[in-house]
Structure 1
Amino acid sequence: MKALLTVNSNGWEPDREICFNCVSRYTRVHDQLATAFPHFAEQDIKILPTPFRLEAPDELRGRGITIAFLDSGFYAHPDLTRPKNRILKYVSVVGRTRPEDLHKPQISSWHGMMTSVVAAGNGQMSGGLYRGIASEANVVLVKVGQASRIRHEDIEAGLRWVIRNRKKYNIRIINISAGGDHEDSYLFDPLSQSAEEATRAGIVVVAASGNAGLDAAHPVYPPASSPSVITVGGLDDKNTFDSADDDMYRSSYGPTVDGLQKPEVIAPGIWVAAPILPGTQTAEQAELLSLLENAGDSELRGIIMQHPGLDEDLDHAAELAPYLLRHITWIKIRDNNVISGHYKHVDGTSFAAPIVSSIVAQMLEAVPDLKPHEVKIALIKTASRIPHIEIDRQGWGRVNPRAAIHAAMVLRAERKKSEKKAAPRATPAPRARRQAVKK
């Protein structure tokens, strides 16, 4: 417990007092980790797994729910395909759909791979540790751009494809970790109109607010600027459990050109565990750094010599003393955000949005007939604001999965009660009169 507190509570030392809430949360997470991962070492938890940092209920995993992801490209990562392939469909609206592309590590693949796995990955490559909150949800992957650019009209085309195919794949959620080319009123913008149409069709649309929060204009582009869309900003929780550390990521915020407050909620937008694209030099370098981090002093030089050309700095440093090699390794792990040979930590509202999408999948698993507007109301009602942050930047605040699920159940119960009251009562049929029989 002391090790977990030390690693994940900035500035805390064993001789200092700690808050009881922090200890309580750490105890729960420690027990969950120990149960699920009996052999984990506390000092190895560099980045807190998303389900634990948001205290998402473990019993709901998005079962029976399909999330469609609109992004520049994708990869069939093991966290989505093993032991069961949960990718129901891959399609491109920007060219010919070639299923084999899903298995090729391309420059356009990494972003969509990360967003889909952040939401729905099962942590296969980490023994289940770095899973998404909706780790049993199905996914549909819709390619709407290239690595260099995603166009306004292509996101619209992706939305329309999902609307047409929603029933075929039981698509209940659309995650859009991309934005259009320009600001525009939702009343006239075709992309925003498509997002509104998707919501009317019963699909919950979740979009990233963007990362321009430090710009003077801090614009929110379509479809995130649409009124029915759940727009997600970025939370910086400093990779700790202490809510006193909570701050804002540099996410874009409103008001929009229509005067709408955006984002509605915030979710972790930094220190988010995500997969490294397999088969790339980045993946090979991460595996090398992970090997060095876990090796004994006598093994360091040999490991570097067995992997020539992967890292020029390490090649030149191979003859240095072990303590210097360890220092170089540590710097490279830090600078490259490496968690392990298969994962790194990433930042951006592109990753905050799929976290909210995964929470929505939990809500829909718990309450399958929940309406999109009810999902939004439940998330807003149960979010908690960061006291020292302007309301415009954070909306209604930090998402609370467990409370949102409970609120969704209450909303459904209230709707059913209201529907029952509004239903017209059947008029009883008049009783037939008995006629006297004359004798």
Structure 2
Amino acid sequence: MNCRALFASIGIYFFAASAAFVFGVYDEVDVQTVVDSPASYIIKGESTKSVGEVVRLAGGEVTHELGIINAVAAQLSDQQRAALALHSTIRIYADATLKTAGGPKPDAEHVRLIGADQLHAQGIHGDGVTVAVLDTGMWYSHNHIKRDLFENNKIIVEFDAGNGKEGHAKDGHGHGTHLTSIIASSQISDNGNVHGIAPNVNLVNIRAFGKEGEGSYADVIRGLDWLVANKNKYDIRVVNLSFSAKPQSHYWDDPINQAVMAVWQAGIVVVASAGNGGPDPMTVGVPGNVPYVITVGATTDSYTPNDPSDDRLASFSAAGPTHEGFVKPEVVAPGGHMLGIMDDGNHNIAKQHPEWVQENDRLYVMSGTSQSAAVVTGAVALLLQAKPWLTPDQVKCQLMSSARPAVDANGQLAYSVFQQGAGMINALAAVQSDNYDCANRGMDINLDMSGQLHYGGRANVDENGDYYIMDLDGYLWTDGYLWTNGYLWTNGYLWTDGYLWSDAHMWTDGSVNADGYLWTNGYLWTNGYLWSNGYLWTNGYLWTNSLTETAGVNAWVDQE
């Protein structure tokens, strides 16, 4: 048989593939580095001669004949390697990074816990949706981040907000890589399940934070500015913001929040982490305190993913209300001991906490509302693939209306709405939802951004210091939450008067709402805040043209 006949007979095609098989091949090895230039691989087939002919016909350069294992070593480009990987009798191993025995590849349980696996079964993997991650960067050469289930390159552009230039934005910290893998990893577990919520999305990497997880307001804002300017060019639909800073003003006067509102106004869904400062009330940070965006708290399955009876809110999850009286977070999602990708040799988090490095495939366990936000970002991508016409407000409504609040044995809320919002997200139920107008009612973002009107939520505080929602019975912050107890996350809870607690009142007099939003213990923004002349704060925060105030990716918390 001649080479061309052999090439045709073994079925190596450049244009079609079985996703399951492609990643079955890579389950043999840990492919840690995939670059555009040729790299060294070991290709094993039925015989050294036949596999060598196929490699040469594909354009590869054979460097070694390894007759003892019926293989050759060769230099292959990404395209050549992908083509060879389609044949069922060929195995490909990364020459420089081969690990003995391969080792187990566990499931990423968060995919199943939010119902994303059921959408995967329907062919919904985030195809055609572009997701931006503004964080510490991405490990862009890792195969499961770089490529989707069909081996297509999914990182379409990178921007370094530090220098204001497009180009590789490498992650020296690890936080951004971990989040990106939760959103979009194409790795397959031993059970055949995908690790990422939306493995086929297009990715936009915006690096605004450094090796220590710190970033200036100026860098974050420049990243958000670039995001809006390039929205249409890359068809960006959703951005993940898993960082926080302590609020120093009303939401509408914080510079980052102003930029975040511009992102929402431009038609990009913003998913923000609540922060890891919980469980006390009024601990949600910037930009999670922006009323328009989807702010996410964290849950944990208590290390028993198959037993929902002990699922609970994570004790570190920040809680509302905001200083303006809005219920935050809107929803919660898995955020305890989350499995994601990390480079233990190059990422600072893994160096500082090596005990959580997993044995194989550069996997790492980390907890936080950052990870919860990544889960929701992936769910939004699935929702937008299924319903690409949705606006950001409609996406928020569908997530909230389909969420499952935690209830106790008597069917009452196990946590207040200031802790769990509408409850645990359910990606499948969100896709099936027919609710479209339950979020951000009573607010006009255009008037808000122009300074003509600002808004306050329905939350208030009583004489005992307990927070409650005005005009509604039963939604009260109380003491005595036992964080070790588990609760049922149910679909059957009936919210009184729908989602009226998400409605807004107009904010008057610039500081105090006419209906009495007077927060106790100093939570009233008073004189000395010059809202229009240089952003001068009484605590000594002077916003100058340099905007050097720092924000940071959410801090390390103990695993839950």
Which range, TM-score by smaller chain?
0.5 to 0.7
Cα separation, 2, equivalents of 1:80 and 1:158: 21
- TM superposition score normalised by structure 2: 0.53
Deviation at 1:117, TM superposition (A): 1.4
The one-letter amino acid paired with 1:49 is E
- 1:86 paired to 2:112: no
Partner secondary structure for residue 187 of structure 1: helix
1:194 to 259, 262, 266: 259
CA contact (8 A) 1:270 1:347 kept: yes
Deviation at 1:269, TM superposition (A): 0.6
- 1:165 paired to 2:230: yes
Deviation at 1:126, TM superposition (A): 7.3
Deviation at 1:134, TM superposition (A): 0.6
- Give % identity: 29
The one-letter amino acid paired with 2:298 is G
CA contact (8 A) 1:267 1:352 kept: yes
Cα separation, 2, equivalents of 1:368 and 1:284: 37
- 1:133 paired to 2:197: yes
1:391 to 417, 429, 450: 417
In the TM superposition, 1:30-429 aligns within 5 A as 48-56=108-116, 57-58=119-120, 59-76=123-140, 77-82=142-147, 83-95=151-163, 97=165, 99-102=167-170, 107-108=172-173, 110-123=174-187, 129-148=193-212, 149-214=214-279, 216=280, 219-239=283-303, 240-249=305-314, 250-277=316-343, 279-280=345-346, 335-336=355-356, 338=358, 340-387=360-407, 388-407=414-433, 411=436
1:26 alignment partner in structure 2: none
Q: How many residues align?
A: 323
Partner secondary structure for residue 299 of structure 2: strand
CA contact (8 A) 2:342 2:350 kept: no
Partner secondary structure for residue 237 of structure 2: strand
Partner secondary structure for residue 253 of structure 2: coil
Cα separation, 2, equivalents of 1:281 and 1:133: 23
Structure 1 or 2: more strand by fraction: 2
Cα separation, 1, equivalents of 2:313 and 2:257: 26
Partner secondary structure for residue 70 of structure 1: strand
CA contact (8 A) 2:169 2:206 kept: no
Cα deviation 1:138-158 (Å, max 9, x = unaligned): 010111121331223322222
Over 3 Å counting, the alpha-carbon distance change for 1:402 and 1:98 in structure 2 is closer
CA contact (8 A) 1:68 1:175 kept: yes
CA contact (8 A) 1:122 1:135 kept: yes
Deviation at 1:48, TM superposition (A): 4.1
Structure 2 unaligned residues grouped into runs of 5+:
1-19, 29-102, 408-413, 438-560
In terms of mean alpha carbon deviation, does 339-348 or 123-132 score higher? Answer: 123-132
- Give the RMSD, CA atoms, in angstroms: 3.1
The one-letter amino acid paired with 1:157 is R
Cα separation, 2, equivalents of 1:374 and 1:281: 37
CA contact (8 A) 2:137 2:169 kept: no
Cα deviation 1:308-359 (Å, max 9, x = unaligned): xxxxxxxxxxxxxxxxxxxxxxxx99x4252634212211111110110110
- TM superposition score normalised by structure 1: 0.67
CA contact (8 A) 2:343 2:350 kept: no
Partner secondary structure for residue 135 of structure 1: coil
The one-letter amino acid paired with 2:333 is A
In terms of mean alpha carbon deviation, does 274-283 or 63-72 score higher? Answer: 274-283
CA contact (8 A) 1:275 1:344 kept: yes
Cα separation, 2, equivalents of 1:114 and 1:124: 16
Structure 1 unaligned residues grouped into runs of 5+:
1-32, 286-331, 413-439
CA contact (8 A) 1:90 1:99 kept: yes
Cα separation, 2, equivalents of 1:174 and 1:282: 24
